[in-house]
Structure 1
Amino acid sequence: MKDKCFYNADGDFLIVPQQGVLDITTEFGKMRVEPNEICVIQQGMRFSVSVSGSTRGYILEVFAAHFQLPYLGPIGANGLANPRDFLCPVAWYEDKDVKGYQVVSKFQGHLFQAEQNHSPFDVVGWHGSYVPYKYNLALFMVVNAVQFDHCDPSIFTVLTCPSNRPGTAIADFVIFPPRWSVQENTFRPPYYHRNCMSEFMGLIFGNYEAKKEGFQPGGATLHSVMTPHGPDTQCFEEATNATLCPTRVADGTQAFMFESSLSLAVTKWGEETCQKLDKNYYKCWQGLKKHFNPKWQPDVL
């Protein structure tokens, strides 16, 4: 973006680069955001992005509220994404006159453009706490079950944008980082479920544990509100026959989820134009077999 910047008057952007490095210039300074890092640029902040080479990723936009750390409850003062690991931009400014500098804004879902005769990044100093920031996902402190059962994925929440309805969010940003799995007498992968949230899954790198085939970095899955889903056939068979010893999970992988209590719609571009929609996606569950035996009893009561 040469002599051009952008700002969002509608809401906040959470940006997840998947390929390529983002060099972001803001009114507050500069940020360099690499894959396995995220950044949040809040409502009204002017910024520009420079890239070199092939670059892609994911963006989550929220309205009416801002992202914040989740309430930790009985976890206590420390855990998950710690405040100390969030970084604000490195101080920088430019005092530059530019003829026809373009300022693009997003307002009520439409794009507008204006011109000015100087760089908007000429802010020499500021104070306050309303700033863009970035976070390295490798610094997330994982919490997990250590005896039995499978925890709700909310334990992997990095940031949340809460709604007015307790127990739900406008949006959660959740990751599935490398970790130990040690539960006994438990089906360790994510359980089969349906819930009141829309789940948009993305993959930054590696292979997602519940769908190792067909889900590629840069791709995505969407499970809408109350749509049943869970691990594919291969994952189920491997997990139900595996010896339950302490095991590393998701090494070399970083999957994430945008979760929302609101319904998500797929655009015409995503459904048709891009020609990347997997119309056979449902077949990953077709091989699941019925294992119920009403006469089964445990070896020890």
Structure 2
Amino acid sequence: MTYDNPTATPAAGYMPGFGNDFETEALPGALPQGMNSPQKCNYGLYGEQLSGTAFTAPSHQNERTWCYRIRPSVKHTHRFTKIDLPQWKSAPNIDPDVISLGQYRWNPLPHTEAPLTWLTGMHTMTTAGDVNTQTGMASHIYLVTASMVDEYFYSADSELLIVPQEGKLRLATELGIIDLAPQEIAIIPRGLVYRVELVEGPARGFVCENYGQKFDLPGRGPIGANCMANRRDFKTPVAAFEDRETPSKVTVKWCGQFHETEIGHSPLDVVAWHGNYAPVKYDLNTYCPVGAVLFDHPDPSIFTVLTAPSGVEGTANIDFVLFRERWMVAENTFRPPWYHKNIMSELMGNIYGQYDAKPQGFVPGGMSLHNMMLPHGPDKQAFEGASNANLGPDKLDHTMSFMFETRFPQHLTRFAAKEAPLQDDYIDCWTSLEKTFDGTPGVK
């Protein structure tokens, strides 16, 4: 969309960092200095705080942003009308006719000629926990073929982690503009108003909707200060604003329901802001994986990019885990993920390339689900290839997959079970595994 008003300022760039305090202004002098709430703001602006945590949260966890805007946001919400977005579901969403216990895999959701915006093109695949108690998550696939025009959205339920797989999006937010392409991710905080435009399409990707505590970087423990994801590589947009008087719609997601209100202007009217509660983007190619350099390999948690903690120490509400290109160097080691079952439910998506544990069937744009305490692991081709491979240094190349992992069981939606392109024969990938035990000592 082109900006038809000379005071609508496009983004000029990004500020580095994640969870740090920032200040940015689109007009000189719009940002007060030395105080948050002056008696009168410059340019006739209104001061307003957006809080992402409780007021009394510990100082190192407290997140808020002061916004200096053309209108207070209370002018952005008039009387609400309930609307239906039938493909976007929230937990709890347990369909009695759907079996979620199992190993599942889907082909990419096919593109369509239908005009689908960010809201109408969101398709929920799984839900976990309870949106009303702010625990758990939902996983979605988005298909976008049309921009939101004079339409805006925010979620009171959740922050959204966006993982593009095809096409390019522009996220025009209250705090600035983020252009987002495959191999990048973005986080849109709870309560932030934004509009999604199609830059290059059609666009398809994945969304993790986090009901619980915010995503943060995981503790590195003995790894120390470097590698994995670094705060400086998370980019926050500079201030940009729209001063447009035009009929507009704002949709709000609240307790799993959608509500719409009509206003007479663009709500993206923040001229300046400072704080640490803001949207970010991150280039997945800046993630530096670590691993073993002698034998065996660490748990897959070593590949965690972001984690959203639960009330149990060390057990995540959600982990966002990335499997990207890397060197494999461990000796006398079965290198792909081993056969296992654990307390976490694992939803994976393929951004591009071939995943080493599933050489066939897990294609770019596809997804798989291995729910809690259900065994899974390499298929026969991957097992035999890894068991007989020459274990010299080997570069795992042209691959990028991810995992939304949660402590809660993930329940399939009716769409995922009945309408999405489910691979009915996925479980057959393990039927050809043969018994090799013969009772004789030694490695076979």
Q: TM-score, normalised by structure 1?
A: 0.96
Question: Matches of 2:288 and 2:152 in 1, distance apart?
Answer: 35
Output aligned runs, 1:79-158, within 5 Å.
79-99=227-247, 101-158=248-305
The equivalent residue for 2:407 is 261
Identity over the aligned pairs, expressed in percent? 49
- Rg comparison, structure with higher value: 2
- Are the aligned partners of 2:158 and 2:211 in contact in 1 as well (CA < 8 Å)? yes
In structure 2, what is the Cα distance between the partners aligned to 1:64 and 1:211?
Answer: 31
Amino acid at match of 1:92: A
- Is structure 2 residue 419 aligned with structure 1 residue 273? yes
C-alpha RMSD of matched pairs (Å) = 1.2
Distance 2:165 2:439 in 1: 47
Quote how far apart the aligned CAs of 1:287 are: 1.0
Q: What is the alpha-carbon distance in structure 2 between the residues aligned to residue 174 and residue 221 of structure 1?
A: 14
- Say whether 1:53 aligns with 2:201: yes
Q: Structure 2 CA distance, aligned partners of 1:144 and 1:22?
A: 33
Between the two proteins, the alignment pairs up a number of residues equal to: 296
Aligned to 2:335: 188
Structure 2 counterpart SS, 1:22: strand
From 199, 206, 210, the equivalent of 2:353 is 206
Aligned 8 A contact 2:289 2:303 in 1: yes
Quote the Cα distance in structure 2 between the aligned partners of 1:90 and 1:20: 23
- CA drift of 1:293 comes to 4.1
Which digits, 9 at most, give the CA deviation of each residue in 1:99-150, with x for residues without a partner? 2x10000000010000111111111001100000010000001101110012
> 3-state DSSP class of the match of 1:143?
coil
The question of whether the paired residues in 1 share the 8 Å contact of 2:316 and 2:406 is answered with yes
**Structure 1 partner of 2:17:** none
Deviation at 1:48, TM superposition (A): 0.8
User: Secondary structure of 1:60's match?
Assistant: strand
The aligned runs of 1:166-245 (5 Å cut-off) are: 166-245=313-392
**Aligned residue number for residue 290 of structure 1:** 435
Equivalent residue for 1:38, pick from 182, 185, 206 = 185
Q: Does 1:14 align with 2:165?
A: no
SS in 2 for 1:135: strand
Bigger RCO (CA 8 Å, 6+ sep): 2
Pick from 142, 155, 159 the counterpart of residue 306 of structure 2.
159
- Helix, strand or coil for the counterpart of 2:273? coil
CA distance in 2, matches of 1:233, 1:164: 38
State how far apart, in whole Å, the 2-side matches of 1:262 and 1:280 are. 26
Q: Give 1:68's aligned residue.
A: 216
Alpha-carbon distance in 1 for matches of 2:333, 2:434: 19
In structure 1, runs of 5+ residues without a counterpart are: none
2:225 — aligned with what? 77
Partner of 2:275: helix, strand, or coil?
coil
CA drift at 1:236? 0.5
Distance 1:220 1:129, change over 3 A: same
* CA contact 2:239–2:273 (8 Å) conserved in 1: no
Counterpart-to-counterpart distance in 2, 1:298 and 1:262: 38
Paired residues of 1:203 and 1:217 also in contact (CA < 8 A): yes
- Checking the alignment, whether the CA contact within 8 Å between 1:150 and 1:191 is kept in structure 2 is no
String of CA shifts for 1:135-169, please: whole Å, max 9, x gaps: 00000011011100121111100000011112210
Question: C-alpha deviations, 1:178-219, integer Å up to 9, x for none?
Answer: 000011111111000000000001000111111111111111
Task: Answer whether contact 1:197 1:261 (CA < 8 A) is retained.
Answer: yes
Question: What amino acid does structure 2 have at the position aligned with 1:86?
Answer: F
Question: What SS is found at the alignment partner of 2:246?
Answer: strand
Deviations, residues 49-103 of structure 1 (Å, cap 9, x unaligned):
111321110000111310000011111112200001000113311111112x100
Counterpart residue type for residue 332 of structure 2: N
Decide whether aligned partners of structure 1 residues 140 and 208 sit closer, same or farther in structure 2, where only a CA change above 3 A counts: same
SS at match of 2:161: strand
Cα pair 2:348 2:401 within 8 Å, conserved: yes
**Counterparts in 2 of 1:40 and 1:208: CA distance versus 1, 3 Å:** same
Between the aligned partners of 1:186 and 1:227, the Cα distance in structure 2 is: 24
Gaps of 5+ in 2: 1-147
- Residue type of the partner of 2:191? G
Query: Does the 8 Å contact 2:156/2:253 carry over to 1?
Result: yes
Classify the secondary structure of the residue corresponding to 1:58.
strand
In the aligned structure 2, how far is the partner of 1:195 from the partner of 1:64? 21
Q: CA contact under 8 A between 1:15 and 1:40: conserved in structure 2?
A: yes
**Partner in structure 1 of residue 47 of structure 2:** none
